[in-house]
Chains A and B, each alone.
Chain A
Amino acid sequence: MAEFLQLLISGLAVGMVYALIALGFVVVWKSSSVANLALGQLVLFSSWFTYGMLVQANFPLWLGFPVVILFALLLGWIIERFALRPLIAQPILSLITVTLGVAYFVEGIVTFIWPWSVDALPRLFPIEPFHLGAAVVSQEYVWVAGISLIMFVLLTLFFRYHKMGIAMRATADDQLAVQACGIPVTRIFSRSWMFACVVAAVGGILISSIGGISYGLVETGLKAFSVVILGGLDSFVGAVVAGPIIGLCENLGGGYLTPFLWAGVKDIIPFIIIIIVMLIKPYGLFGEVRIERI
């Protein structure tokens, strides 16, 4: 039972971070129908950048985080402006592969600047474990889950009440109508990329504060795809619901299946979920089923 509780809490926490990263994908997909396959590399890059700020440049936390957020905003703007903007209205194949090119490029930058490939962020959260009945739960997970929850609330408020959030939802709904209302659609695209980079950065910081920074962060970003697929590509609710489900499957499966299967089964569970969802319900739990016409 104690083990179950531990796995439950860590699974929920990690799943919420996946959901956070997945939200970045969904926003870009909804506003500009670009599939951002560079998610993993963005998570990797921003985690290393945080490392650079907090450890190498020795900034205090209150200064380091705003710098990281600013950097993420800039990164999103650059990617949209120079890689995606020239390809507006191109076939989906080009749009997907251009993000792959960006992914490759970002990975090159990361190995260029931080060639040692594994390191740890300084402790962001207190480490004393606390007891929940018989279970010993590391406090980090609770902090991570809490911060993710706060982010969700903030994002919901943003999309519901802020002018830009409403404009982004409108763009997702109908680009032509939005353009007719005088909202610059290209600016919305740009904002959605900036938004995606920021949530990737926050997700990256949260994940790497627990597990350290390594190349595995790319896989973390890719696991966010399983969240997107399970929840439905174009659904915010889907991402928020599917994230914890994936995290739970991953952690509980990793905890209980490893004795029967090979070690490391945990890392592969999200990808197996992708295949299963594809075969059974390809548009996910909350995704809109596209009806095609010739």
Chain B
Amino acid sequence: MQVPTPDSAESGIPGLHARWEHFPHEADMGVRGFGTSKSHAFEQAAMAMTAIICDPASVKPDQAVSVHCEAPDDELLLADWLNQLIYEMAVRGMIFSRFEVHIDRTRLDGVAWGEAVDVRRHHPAVEIKGATYTALRVACEHGEWVAQTIVDV
């Protein structure tokens, strides 16, 4: 049976105002995270990416994986963060459902929590090939951070 998968969600954490959504692209998918800080927006963009694959609520955050990346600007850092997660998902056969990001200028230290892919439980729809630089944007608007890009599926 097809599991209805959300295409937007609130983080549910009081005071964080963090949320994510998908936005359309003709062949692929857009991921967009919002938050009160850049780090929260990056975390939510990662959540949006998981939601392309499956319902994040179905993924147990049992195992932690550390991710580190460095890039000359915020936008390339976002693409790097998502690409590192794509890499870790591919080589570990995992899906992630909880994220924590710390950004210090050009450096990102993050942790992703998840579990091994279980086709019967997660009903994964599609694997992600890479995070593109198309519609890539990191900005603070009216006190809210947004982090978005198109991912190739």
Partners in one complex: no
Using a CB–CB distance below 8 Å, which chain B residues touch chain A?
none
Using a CB–CB distance below 8 Å, which chain A residues touch chain B?
none
